[in-house]
Chain A
């Protein structure tokens, strides 16, 4: 079975722009988790979607938002980009109590 997929692999944006990152969970799995891995800040929980609804969010400002589509794929949107938003953004599916991650999208804000 296919794993978690993410696109694009790399994304370069300018400060103030908006970024859209995409994730497809493992087939048939309804939950999607987003994490940010920023230099010096480690891995931080961002958002959790399940059955199309946002279930929980981490300590991030409202300009980090997203949605989950009927096919359970998900989009993470980051508005008004700031330099410190540069990071690897990871998406995960939950399987049997564990979370399995995609390869990530590296966002660079210049």
Chain B
């Protein structure tokens, strides 16, 4: 069965520093990959997604993620973070076995940006 591992439960970082949030998934079957962000007391917002094509995907607010099939990874990066990026970030995968319907989530990474 598919599983998602987010290697860091918390990542503290200073404002304007780069950050990488790591995500690995277990199954090598054809997958769709996602990053979601959750601000306190809110629902999930889709940050970016990989369905096919270019392995590097970007969001409108400066985040990017790269699909690495050989390493079954989909790490999230941002070259310079802002205070407003403080939130919890979830990596998720859906696969062909599930008809690309059911999302399997990682446990989340809490990003704390300090001034």
Q: Which of the four size classes fits the interface of chain A?
A: 20 to 34
**Contact B43 A45, beta carbon cutoff 8 Å:** no
A41 to B58 CA separation, bound complex (whole angstroms): 29
A8 to B85 CA separation, bound complex (whole angstroms): 28
Interface centre among B34, B45, B92, B103 (most CB of A within 10 A): B103
Question: Would you call B105 an interface residue if the criterion is a C-beta within 8 Å of the partner chain's C-beta atoms?
Answer: yes
**Contact B42 A103, beta carbon cutoff 8 Å:** yes
Question: Would you call B29 an interface residue if the criterion is a C-beta within 8 Å of the partner chain's C-beta atoms?
Answer: no
Question: Would you call A14 an interface residue if the criterion is a C-beta within 8 Å of the partner chain's C-beta atoms?
Answer: no
Q: Which of the four size classes fits the interface of chain B?
A: 20 to 34
Q: How far is the CB of A3 from chain B (nearest CB, A)?
A: 9
Chain A residues whose C-beta falls within 8 Å of the C-beta of B100 in the assembled complex: 97
Q: Which residue of B lies closest to A57 (CB)?
A: B102
Q: How far is the CB of B42 from chain A (nearest CB, A)?
A: 6
**Contact B43 A48, beta carbon cutoff 8 Å:** no
A96 to B100 CA separation, bound complex (whole angstroms): 11
A40 to B48 CA separation, bound complex (whole angstroms): 25
Q: How far is the CB of A18 from chain B (nearest CB, A)?
A: 24
